[in-house]
Amino acid sequence: MSSEALMPVTAEAPSNKQRLFVRYYTGILIDLVVLNLFAEYWSNVFVDTFTTSLLAAIVLQVLLKLTVAAEHWVGGYFKKRPGGFMKFMRFFCAWLILFGSKFVILEAIAQLFGEDVRFYGAFHGIVALIVVVVVMLVAEELIVRFYRKLGDKMPLDPAVPAEG
């Protein structure tokens, strides 16, 4: 079968809404996998069912994106102002938002899911949550970097030299 037979009839660029959908869809699936792997292999993370983990992954994705948006907004506010103190405030507020948000996320998970999703261990599970969230963010970043690498001009058939 030729590579032309595999090509779509029209090759329209995706819309911004489609790109946003794929970004969040992929993020939720990555979070789902990470959360379930931790629930299966680490006793400090408990999720009662797959459905609950899917809902928790959606909540985590939304809350993490809101956290990053808030951090960027506050960072932008301080970045516009000159001076060393403003630079310090930018980094301090970014740290405060990123660290403090984990307590908000933990409480939101507790309120929404009760005993169905639990993080155990040091500081009432906040350390376990931070580990899970960091692994989620790292996994998302690795997938994004891999995806971008796929955009490099490479031939479909290794025997055919790349164009350009």
6 in a structural domain: no
Percentage of residues of the chain with pLDDT beyond 90: 37
Per-residue pLDDT, averaged over 49-71, amounts to 92
Contacts of 105 (CB under 8 A, 6+ apart): 60, 63, 64, 67, 129, 133
Q: Is residue 124 part of a domain?
A: yes
Q: Is the pLDDT of residue 30 over 70?
A: yes
Average pLDDT over every residue of 68-74: 90
Predicted confidence (pLDDT) per residue in 87-116, tens digit? 888 889 988 998 888 888 888 998 999 999
Model confidence at 41: pLDDT above 80: yes
Query: What pTM did the predictor assign?
Result: 0.74
pLDDT value at residue 159: 57
Residue 101 lies in a domain: yes
Q: What is the mean pLDDT of residues 30-56?
A: 94
| Residue 148 resides in a domain | no
Give me the domain span that covers residue 24: 17-140
Average pLDDT, the chain: 85
- 150 assigned to some structural domain: no
102 found inside a domain: yes
Would you say residue 75 lies in a domain? Answer: yes
Instruction: Provide the domain count of the chain.
Output: 1
Asked whether residue 53 is domain-assigned, the answer is yes
CB neighbours of 129 closer than 8 A, spacing ≥ 6?
Answer: 102, 105, 106, 109, 119
Does residue 76 register a pLDDT over 60?
Answer: yes
Confidence of residue 156 (pLDDT cuts 50, 70, 90): low
- Predicted confidence (pLDDT) per residue in 124-154, tens digit: 888 998 999 899 989 999 998 898 888 766 5
Q: Tell me the range of 6-10, 38-42, 82-86 where mean pLDDT is highest.
A: 38-42
pLDDT in the model for residue 1:
54
Give the SS3 label for residue 162.
coil
